[in-house]
Amino acid sequence: MGDKIYIRELSDNEIKNLLDDKKFNSFKPVSCRDCGYKGDFQRRIFHVAGILKNKNKEEDDQNFLRYHMKQRYGFDNILFRIKGSNHYIETAFCKKCNSNMVIFDIDLNDDIIEQVSHYLNIPARKIKSDLNKILSQHKE
């Protein structure tokens, strides 16, 4: 590996500022894999510097970071995130059982649907209607 990787946990204020970005926060914790809890989750986010730009070494860096986060913090489940040129590691904890085996998913809010509408050249109301049909069939 050779290059140094620096990891720094973000403060509560830095996390709040990062999560105020709707695009970043549209991918968020939704349920606990261990107990099924759905609600608010405590999130911890770390800034990572020194990651190699070489795509062939990216997997090595991520494996090293997974190992480090498990050894140092005991995290079983982490996500790698990028915003601009900044790299982050994120994890979340269940408020019911304290597990960090938390499932993240995309929040399909109006902003996301508008972006999809723009890219697909399909009216947002049509996308919402189709999604509602799919969800209602899934519940049956």
pLDDT digits (tens, 9 = 90+) for 26-69: 899 999 999 999 989 999 999 999 876 656 677 788 898 999 99
Q: Do 34 and 87 lie in a common domain?
A: yes
pLDDT > 90: percent of the chain:
59
How confident is the model at residue 1, as a pLDDT? 44
Positive or negative: CA dihedral 67, 71, 75, 81: negative
Residue 39 resides in a domain: yes
- Number of helices and strands (H, E) in the chain? 5, 6
Average pLDDT over residues 62-91: 94
Q: Do 63 and 74 lie in a common domain?
A: yes
Q: Do 83 and 32 lie in a common domain?
A: yes
Whole-number Å distance between alpha carbons of 81 and 10: 14
Q: Do 42 and 13 lie in a common domain?
A: yes
Residue 6: pLDDT over 80: yes
More confident residue, 26 or 71: 71
Q: Do 80 and 135 lie in a common domain?
A: no
Q: Do 41 and 96 lie in a common domain?
A: yes
pLDDT tens track for 108-129: 778 888 888 898 999 999 988 9
Total count of domains within the chain: 2
Residue 1 resides in a domain: no
Q: Among candidates 104, 130, 105, 106, which has minimal Cα distance to 117?
A: 130
Contact 30, 104 (CB under 8 A): yes
Average pLDDT over residues 5-29: 93
How confident is the model at residue 54, as a pLDDT? 58
Residue 138: pLDDT over 60: yes
Domain region containing 122: 108-140
Residue 96 resides in a domain: yes
Q: Do 82 and 35 lie in a common domain?
A: yes
Q: Do 33 and 56 lie in a common domain?
A: yes
More confident residue, 4 or 87: 87
Residue 18: pLDDT over 80: yes
